Copies of this chain bind each other. A is one copy, B any other.
């Protein structure tokens, strides 16, 4: 039995979950793996703060040196969240010759290059399963299980908060602000939910995953992002009538011209595996050149699922230390693939036009679409409700984003169009 001493940095929700998991299942894990995990020190900012878990007071310290300077501590587990001081601690731990386990998606998405390079230069192992997908083993699956494959396509629901909100909006016909308030009460959304709703959190995560599949660093700044703030129950209901479920998807697709990487609300055909992903669940649909389609699904957040991923990483880090070898580099390619600009993306589209109830409106709209080579696949026009503009919903065949933007700009300038057209993209089948 080998004892593995760990230094925890942070004892918030996730830190407490990790502490609790080791307390509860540590003996079982030792029996199974031959590795006994021991938390030797926990770095916190305030010794007196009340915490979700009661750890022995002698484990707590406010002095980083007690972890980074302790040669017995071989693995540092960073669970603070946010950029600083988390980033500094991760780099410091690597430079102090320790393996690092982190759940920090923000540091990896915004400063991944520095962190990954530092891990490579110091020869230390860096594990971050919990940074994406909570308890879902997407990182290990990409790094190890599918390592024989070229990953051609990754389509994912990576933000449980948004998926919860969209599920409730669709199933109960309620508007976004009301459901956001409910999610906040349930602890499923932050007091300031903008990082989730804007799609930025999803952009962080898809950037990390694309970095893994490409072997070169892709910053989250390169991701095209639209959030769910503008979605109305009306659009979700129209999409459902047309056979689709609306999801916030994060996509990274290798095309002939390079990599498309984007986050936006997307119409997913009913019956598609991703359409069945309800509430706060995450799902990752991959396509590899040999394995074909693989999907992973589970809870993407929460203390316990996240702790499951962190402890799996601690065990991997311990095994890596036993081996005495350096892990293979994460960034094994010198340069990133070309990124395809959003304007060049080809997709099918959902449009909802807000038309005034006058003769010839449909003809004008259809005419402009035709001029831009955008071909219509289906139309729904319902009777006007008193005093409102008439919603005209169209699905298109494949069209280029650039043409679509130009066409909508012209359409939205028509006198007979009362409000900006709503645009949603349809998942490629």
Contacts and interface: CB of A to CB of B under 8 A. Distances in A.
B144 A140 contact: yes
A25 B290 contact: yes
A281 B294 CA distance: 9
Interface stretch (A46-54, A74-82, A304-312, A375-383): A304-312
Interface in A133-192: 135-137, 140-141, 144-150
A150 B325 contact: no
Given A25-B150, A140-B140, A328-B32, A295 B293 contact: no
A32 B150 CA distance: 11
A147 B29 contact: yes
A291 interface: yes
A290 to B, nearest CB: 4
Interface string A270-307: 01110111100100000011111111111100101101
A46 B34 CA distance: 44
- Most B-side CB within 10 Å, residue of A289, A295, A333: A295
A294 B149 CA distance: 23
B147 A315 contact: yes
Interface in A255-276: 271-273, 275-276
Contacts of A319: 323, 325
Contacts of A25: 148-150, 289-290
A420 to B, nearest CB: 34
Contacts of A32: 147, 215, 328, 332
Contact of A325 (B145, B271, B322): B322
Contacts of A278: 271
Copy number of this protein in the oligomer?
2
Given A145-B312, A315-B147, A135 B304 contact: no
A250 to B, nearest CB: 18
B305 A298 contact: no
A316 interface: yes
A188 to B, nearest CB: 14
A121 to B, nearest CB: 16
A295 B292 contact: no
A21 interface: yes
Contacts of A307: 148, 290
Contacts of A293: 281, 297-299
Interface string A213-224: 001000000000
Interface residues of A, number: 62
Given A29-B147, A34-B328, A297-B295, A290 B308 contact: yes
Contact of A294 (B271, B291, B296): B296
Contacts of A292: 135, 298-299, 302, 304-305
A306 to B, nearest CB: 9
A288 B308 contact: yes
A429 interface: no
A338 to B, nearest CB: 18
A305 B290 contact: yes
A294 B147 CA distance: 21
A309 B147 CA distance: 9
A31 interface: yes
Contacts of A33: 147, 328
A144 to B, nearest CB: 6
A298 B129 CA distance: 21
Given A25-B149, A28-B150, A31-B332, A298 B294 contact: yes
19 contacts: A25-B148, A25-B150, A32-B215, A33-B328, A135-B288, A137-B144, A141-B141, A141-B145, A144-B315, A147-B315, A273-B297, A290-B305, A290-B307, A293-B299, A295-B295, A295-B297, A319-B325, A323-B324, A324-B324
Pairs A-B, 8 closest by C-beta atoms? A323-B323, A137-B145, A135-B291, A148-B311, A291-B308, A294-B298, A295-B297, A290-B308
Interface of A: 17, 21, 25, 28-29, 31-35, 129, 135-137, 140-141, 144-150, 215, 271-273, 275-278, 281, 288-299, 302, 304-305, 307-309, 311-312, 315-316, 319, 322-325, 328, 332-333
